[in-house]
Amino acid sequence: MLSADEQLRLAREQYESAQDYTVAVEEEFAILEPETLSLTNRFEELKAAAEGTELEPHLVGELIASEVEVRTGRCESFAEVVARIPERRAQVSGLAERLWVTLAATGTHPWSPWQEQRIIDTPHYRIRDEQLRYVVWRNNTFGLHVHVGIRGIDRAVRVCDALRVYLPELLALSASSPFVENVNTGLHSARTQIFTRFFPRCGIPDVYGDWRTFEDYVRMLFATGSIREHTEMWWSVRPHLAFPTVEIRICDAQPLQEEAISLAALSYALAVRVARAIDEGEPLLVPTNREIEENFWRATRWGLSGELIDLRTREVRPARTALEELIQWVQPVAEELGAAEYLGIPIANAAERQIARFEEGAASLEEIYAEQIRPPEAPLAAPHSGRTGSARASVGNDRSTQFDSTETN
């Protein structure tokens, strides 16, 4: 393990020579027993099956043995992301099929007990287990992370500072986890409540302003034994110290491939739009944590169906309106990046679809969860005045890429 000085020095050097606006996506999937759709501890078998294949370097463990993370790898353009997400899903689906397991992508599993999930046996996760105990045992959650390359260490910190305000919008759009522990939680993202309220150094980070201020805080954490490595800072947006990227970590995992691509498009365009604003001296809102937390809770509780506070005017408007405004703001940059055609707001996101089925009273949690794995049809995107084309409605409709066949933290 590198020393604190080495980790910070390498991070600084990498950011100063980084390439702007590369992008990578990480997706976390539940590993399921195909008959019951309960979690099953078979990650090591998937990992072994990937050896010697193109997928091997892109398939990693993520805490529990009933979870697998799949990465696109660094992409030079968003067009690469659009190609890589279906490709990686198909590759890992093929491995799962051979092992007779099923994969799923919602923020939580609706019923499998956390007590039955085994922590994977690696030095990294043994340390997590020793440090966090119940906190880490309880974290049976699944997310989608987006890395965006940002050149310049001070600039990366400032991008993180500004992105804080938009985390609730991304969470509301991505919410997919209303059920856990065999109950309807009343939340749209139970994953967020479990993860961000349990883990230390999680959720909305402070404003740091520049690298020196951020580094001083990180050095304090190292010096006091609070952390041993930088990945023990689990904020919902962070400067990643192993890669010269800003990592957006707020989103729930997505059942539908097309929605994963759309979330990645918005996250990517948003990070680049913020970086451009910083470069051009455009004023950006940097509110207090307590103000953002109000929207963070609203997004956790009501998701896309709720309301968010406009922190500039302090007026309340529907979450969908807030997202429409955000898409309009990033639209010109998204067009440059080739991401604009994938921006959109679904008629109902994954949480809304599951809650609607539950409230109908005709389907069990098992049946509703099965629909997220083998959806009867993909929902169409709601029309948006800034969108161009109709590609988002067609991406991922081939069910073979939606799991029908069946270590960064």
**Mean pLDDT of the chain, nearest integer:** 91
Cα distances (Å, whole numbers) of residue 345 to 42, 274, 385: 35, 21, 11
- Taking each helix axis as running N to C, give the angle between helix 289-302 and helix 190-198, from 0 to 180 degrees, rounded to the nearest 10: 140
The mean per-residue pLDDT over the stretch 76-82 comes to 98
Distance CA 176, CA 355 (A): 10
pLDDT at 71 over 50: yes
The mean per-residue pLDDT over the stretch 303-328 comes to 98
163 in Cβ contact with 271 (< 8 Å): yes
Q: What is the pLDDT of residue 119?
A: 93
Backbone dihedral angles phi then psi of residue 237, each to the nearest 5 degrees: -145, 135
pLDDT tens for 184-195 read 999 999 999 999
Q: How many CA atoms lie within 13 A of 274 on its CB side?
A: 27
Confidence band (pLDDT; 50, 70, 90) for 375?
A: low
CB atoms within 10 A of CB 216: 10
Cα distances (Å, whole numbers) of residue 257 to 190, 222, 371: 21, 39, 14
Q: What is the pLDDT of residue 127?
A: 86
Distance CA 157, CA 170 (A): 19
Confidence band (pLDDT; 50, 70, 90) for 97?
A: very high
Q: What is the pLDDT of residue 122?
A: 85
pLDDT at 409 over 80: no
Confidence band (pLDDT; 50, 70, 90) for 376?
A: low
pLDDT at 335 over 50: yes
Q: What is the pLDDT of residue 393?
A: 26
Q: What is the pLDDT of residue 374?
A: 78
pLDDT tens for 225-243 read 999 988 899 999 999 999 9
